Chain A
Amino acid sequence: MMISARAYGDNGKMKEYHYTGPVEHKFSPYAFNGGTVLAVAGEDFALVASDTRLSEGYSIHSRDSPKCYKLTDTTVIGCSGFHGDCLTLTKIIEARLKMYKHSNNKSMTSGAIAAMLSTILYGKRFFPYYVYNIIGGLDEEGRGAVYSFDPVGSYQRDTYKAGGSASAMLQPLLDNQIGFKNMENVEQLPLTLEKAVQLVKDVFISAAERDVYTGDALKICIITKEGIREEIVPLRKD
């Protein structure tokens, strides 16, 4: 069953189920495939994590469909939303990266990829890509960088960001633990890699408990100056 925009009323809540007579269903070019993506930037590292569940409505299409895509040796992108648009968008980004590499003889930096993605997304302003993107990587000075996007290309650089179906659950927890928001008299220590990885694992386990579209497994891409390392952690499968 495809969830179209018609299932939602004007206040954003799902409409009550009762039979109102024959209803004409219009074809919707979008579908919501679920998934959550998270990125954290540290002093000299960046993490991009995503769950691996691909769902649609009440069904699960795949339990092994990670949403992090490696772009260069220092940049990873996480895309959640409509899977068809995620695939096309990553293909377009990879093609543009190759073009840049061939004409400029160097790889694109994270900041440049972010600016390019913003223009690619805005190019379809009137029929947008239904994708929530988060780019994580190292900038030219070797510091961690996270860029978060909206579906039409508005972006900015952050320290941490969660996107996708469980983003509203994860973001407040990150604000508290990484941003030290709403806490008084607390020592603000810089985030280490081990602590960040453990935090991401805990945070996704909590998300899988409460969000139906998040679960199955967690894939973390850890980006340091040595390269990109991957870690896979199992999550709830129900």
Chain B
Amino acid sequence: KTCIYTHKQKHFTHFCSRKNRVPTLFSSTFSSLSPHQQPFQLSHGTTTLGFIFQDGVIAAADTRASCKGLICCPTSQKIMPIHSHLVVNTSGSGADCMLWERILTREMRLYQLRHRKRLSINGAAKLLSMMLHPFKDQNTKNVLSFGGRSGPRVCYVCSDGLQLKGEIISVGSGSPYAYAVLDDGWRWGMTVDEAVALAREAVFRATHWDAYSGNNVDLFHITAHGWRRRDREDLKEEYYRERERKRKKIKEREKERQKREGDELGEGDIYSVHCG
């Protein structure tokens, strides 16, 4: 209902200004304020990803909701289950994400009640992209992850109408970093543990480099039996483990260098200066 109301409102103000030929106080220039004219910024910036492998689909996302420099919420949930076999990650303004998830859930449920079978992921992607079409300037991007009878599928839907199907999809300001890690480690024949570790690593690397992603990581694993959610993990632990590992490596390198210098000293006082 909200969707139709805003659609009508947009058309109404357009009609008004055309009829009067005089820009009224609240003419169409104000009815769709661009992000530059608004005095506040909406929640944006994220890292979400989805990929398929031999045992289903993994959907992962960070949990930071930011608002032009301030972190509005360090514990937001960006992955929403739509039904037992479909999960959607969204990126874009927080309110738009909430709304589209609710609309998609409603439409899927209505389809299931009317036709007595669940809508396939292709159908869901098409439906979502058709519904998003009137709101092209909204800039929401969705990754639909599906693990049903027809096998694991992951699909990317953008608010300008683009639909892409693939094996690895990542969306958001941290997606370039996530893609780098995923491209390196992805194999179709991965085990569940390897896949989960890969997804966590990808989100961790993205949160390390991207200022707008961070805090915790949410992971969903979808198989033919349905989705299962992993406990939310704080990436702070991962960061400290990483630092410990680096420290150990530096210590080992120091030891080796000292040993080498000790050997070289034995050959007569010529030792070259090496770094590390």
Show the binding face of A for B, using Cβ within 8 Å. Answer: 3-5, 8, 12, 27-30, 32, 118-119, 121-123, 125-128, 130, 148, 150-156, 158, 167-168
Contact = CB atoms under 8 A, between A and B. Distances in A.
B164 interface: no
Interface string B1-26: 01001100110000000000000011
Contact of A5 (B37, B94, B95): B37
Contacts of B30: 29, 127
B189 interface: no
**3 A-B pairs with least C-beta separation:** A154-B94, A154-B95, A152-B95
A21 B94 CA distance: 40
B211 interface: no
Given A126-B9, A127-B33, A154-B94, 5 more contacts: A119-B2, A125-B96, A127-B26, A130-B39, A153-B98
A130 B2 contact: no
B99 A168 contact: no
A186 to B, nearest CB: 16
Contacts of A123: 2, 5-6
B39 A30 contact: yes
Question: Which of B6, B26, B72 gathers most chain A CB within 10 Å?
Answer: B72
B175 interface: no
B73 A126 contact: no
Interface in B41-88: 42-43, 65, 67-70, 72-73, 76
B117 interface: no
A123 B68 CA distance: 23
A168 B70 contact: yes
Contacts of B39: 3-5, 8, 28, 30, 32, 130
A35 to B, nearest CB: 14
B236 to A, nearest CB: 9
Nearest to A181: B74
A150 B94 CA distance: 8
Contacts of B31: 126-127
Contacts of A27: 25
A158 B42 CA distance: 19
A28 B97 CA distance: 28
Contacts of B240: none
A177 to B, nearest CB: 16
A12 B69 contact: yes
A152 B99 CA distance: 11
A154 B38 contact: no
26 contacts: A4-B39, A5-B37, A12-B68, A12-B69, A28-B39, A29-B30, A30-B39, A32-B39, A119-B2, A122-B99, A123-B5, A123-B6, A126-B6, A126-B32, A127-B30, A127-B32, A128-B33, A130-B39, A150-B42, A150-B67, A150-B95, A151-B42, A152-B93, A153-B95, A154-B95, A167-B70
Contacts of A168: 70
Nearest to A30: B39
Nearest to A32: B39
A29 B24 CA distance: 13
A95 B120 CA distance: 42
B36 interface: yes
Contacts of A28: 39
Contact of B40 (A126, A130, A155): A130
Nearest to B99: A122
Question: Which of B2, B65, B67 gathers most chain A CB within 10 Å?
Answer: B2
Given A119-B2, A125-B6, A154 B33 contact: no
A29 B72 CA distance: 25
Nearest to B41: A12
Question: Which of A3, A119, A150 gathers most chain B CB within 10 Å?
Answer: A150
